[in-house]
Structure 1
Amino acid sequence: MDWSLYLVTDPYLGGGREEVVGVVQRALTGGVGVVQLRDKEGSDAQVEETARELLAILGDVPLFIDDRVEVAAKLDCHLHIGQNDMPLAQARAALGPEQLIGLSVGSDADLDALDGLATTSPHLLPDVVGIGPVFNTATKLDAPSGLGVKEARRLATRASERDIPAVAIGGINADSVSFLAGSDFSGVCVISAIMAAQDPEAAAHTLKEKFHG
């Protein structure tokens, strides 16, 4: 799987819920390799409708759905959860064997908890972790202060040592993405850098190029 450029959607930055699919389609042309549908305020029915529209255009690009485990299970999509959304065991139980789980991670304590799982219940480990926020971000209202590049890269190394791919998230744009190149991150997650871009295709191309150095 190509984690190098992971797009998290936002129904407002893209100009409205009805514009999300169009933005994603243009970003795919620019090199986005993974998409996460995140819509905190939409109903399950609205999220499912957008997910079905995305599945129709994504081809081999995987679709993660943020938090809505029932929708992910119904559509056979992958799932992303935060530290406070639901236990990994509950998420695994709801999904099929081929569905992946992404988990938000922001500290050594979060990774220490995964070490515990690796010993007792390795089947519950996430398939990818999103580490951040790397930089301060206004996209997620309840996001903590940025970790900084050095700390984020250190956590990515810890994840890599456990054979869990890590993607960086939080305040990443065309100016800051190069600070994460050459690290143990498998890729970067962006939201506004593509969703709010005048040219999502060009923005995606630039971000991917700069990440790969």
Structure 2
Amino acid sequence: MSGAMGTVDWSLYLVTDPVLGGGPDRVVDIATRAVAGGATVVQLRDKHATDAEVEATAAALLDAVDVPVFLNDRVEVARRLRCHLHIGQIDIPFPRARALLRDDQMIGLSVGSDTELDAVIALDGRGPDVIGIGPAFDTTTKANAPAGLGVERVHALADRARTADLPSVAIGGIDADRAGLFTDTAVDGICVVSAIMAAADPAAAARDLKEAYTR
């Protein structure tokens, strides 16, 4: 039911935030510098921009970086640009999203409990290409986020996912001080927002995160 396309390096997954980055016009530059510093995947997330604005930013981002680019919850934009998609539990249902996209477009899905992971594993046909497990810690970068799971719970979910050949990344409240806590867990990478988006030097922040989280 699973299996990411080819071999993707999930080790440092950046989720963008235009507010933390100082405005939507700075997102592509920050992401580009983060990739130069070692970010291996970028997800464009902007809950307030229009589809047209997201499409313009995504097109610029796709031209600027050579790592997988995911769009958060904008399935029609992802379909038009032929990039990848990430959805949450209350976004478009996964089977519908999968039916709308091409086979070469990956889909990531947020998972925060055994029940949600059970539903992923039970999917018929191709499941998500990666899951984001979290929030790992309490976070303020996502409205109404539940309490942090903690490293042990994240590891337990990631270990179950790995048994199902499903890559996972930990997300939520992870910074350079906490990144190393996931080195010996079953996750395939760490996912960060403010640790890079709010950094004075995004490239240096990415390097610090990669150094802290070593496989």
Common fold: TM-score over 0.5: yes
3-state DSSP of counterpart to 2:122: helix
User: Aligned partners of 2:200, 2:135: CA distance in 1, in Å?
Assistant: 24
The equivalent position to 1:122 in structure 2, one of 121, 125, 149, is 125
User: Aligned partners of 1:115, 1:13: CA distance in 2, in Å?
Assistant: 34
Offset of 1:122 from its aligned partner? 2.3
The equivalent position to 1:176 in structure 2, one of 164, 178, 192, is 178
User: Aligned partners of 1:160, 1:80: CA distance in 2, in Å?
Assistant: 19
Offset of 1:115 from its aligned partner? 2.4
State whether structure 2 residue 42 is matched by structure 1 residue 35.
yes
Alignment of 1:188-207 (within 5 A): 188-207=190-209
User: Aligned partners of 1:20, 1:87: CA distance in 2, in Å?
Assistant: 28
Show structure 2 runs of 5+ residues with no match.
1-7
3-state DSSP of counterpart to 1:176: helix
3-state DSSP of counterpart to 2:132: strand
User: Aligned partners of 2:53, 2:205: CA distance in 1, in Å?
Assistant: 27
User: Percent identity over the alignment?
Assistant: 57
Which residue of 1 is the match for residue 55 of structure 2?
Answer: 48
Alignment of 1:92-103 (within 5 A): 92-103=98-109
Show structure 1 runs of 5+ residues with no match.
none
TM-score (norm 2): 0.95
Alignment of 1:78-157 (within 5 A): 78-117=84-123, 121-123=124-126, 125-157=127-159
3-state DSSP of counterpart to 1:135: coil
Offset of 1:93 from its aligned partner? 1.2
Offset of 1:54 from its aligned partner? 0.2
User: Aligned partners of 1:88, 1:162: CA distance in 2, in Å?
Assistant: 17
Q: Which runs of 4+ in 1 moved over 6 A?
A: none
What do residues 80-134 of structure 1 show as CA deviations (whole Å, max 9, x unaligned)?
Answer: 00011011111011101100000000000011112221xxx122x1000000000
Which residue of 2 is the match for residue 66 of structure 1?
Answer: 72
Q: How many residues are aligned here?
A: 208
